[in-house]
Amino acid sequence: MLQANQTRHILSLLLLLFFTTNHMQAESKSSRAERKHEIRIGWGDQLFETLVWHEEPFSTIHPPTTLLNYDENFQYLQHYFIEYQRRHNHWLSYGGTFDFSGVYWDRVTRNGKGEQVGDPTNHHFINLVFMPNIRFTYFYHKYVSFYSGLGAGLNINTGTEIDYKQRKTAVAPVFGLTLFGVEVGLDHWFASLELGGLYSLVNTNEIYMVSSRMITAAIGFRF
């Protein structure tokens, strides 16, 4: 008899928890559904750029009179982006992203002894990304939601460098993939963190960004 009473109590608690959770989710969805628009401003890493474009060690195997150019003093601007999303329903939204990133460095001429010859010249490249995207939210609650997303658009690369076609500016398709994203916040203000990347599929002699912005963090506002 005692075990039967305990079983009934446990079942009652589970049913209460189930209906309470459903009620909370319904309330949170109703409240969040009123916010159809979302704007985020955020930052992303340049892990790929730091691995590909960096200072090379000086080589002493050349004769002293040999003059060689070295790229030094790299500065990585990171990624900065603004994104707009319009919520279609509690699991689907769509919008667009504008992303800016860049790298600066000095080109230094040195002789075979490593001594600098003349003044260094400044060089840089920047990437401008315009990308429509869609987002799929698979967990949706009052304070937190989990999502993934896809995007495709254009990447404009420009700067001081000249490619093999004698161009300083090149345009290529760019793709975005959000493997995992999380939003935490209230009805209006929130913060987000994403794991994913930007991919520009083109010859690296024409454009610099091949794979970038693996981690992003942002703050946003719903209205």
Q: Is the pLDDT of residue 86 over 60?
A: yes
| Residue 136 vs residues 85, 154, 181: alpha-carbon distances, Å | 12, 22, 10
Q: How confident is the model at residue 2 (pLDDT cuts 50, 70, 90)?
A: very low
- Which ranges constitute the DSSP H helices of the chain? 2-33, 47-52
Label residue 164 by pLDDT band (50, 70, 90): confident
Please report, rounded to a whole number, the percentage of residues in the chain having pLDDT higher than 70: 83
Could you give the CA distance from residue 22 to residue 175 in angstroms, rounded to a whole number? 37
For 23-65, the pLDDT digits (tens) are: 545 555 556 667 889 999 999 999 999 998 898 887 767 788 7
Q: Quick one: pLDDT at residue 186?
A: 87
pLDDT above 90: residue 146:
yes
pLDDT in tens, 167-219: 889 999 999 999 999 999 988 999 999 999 999 877 666 778 888 999 999 99
Mean per-residue pLDDT for 133-145?
93
Spell 35-73 as b/e; 16+ CB within 10 A means b. eeebebebebbbebbeeeeeeeeeeeeeeeeeeeebebe
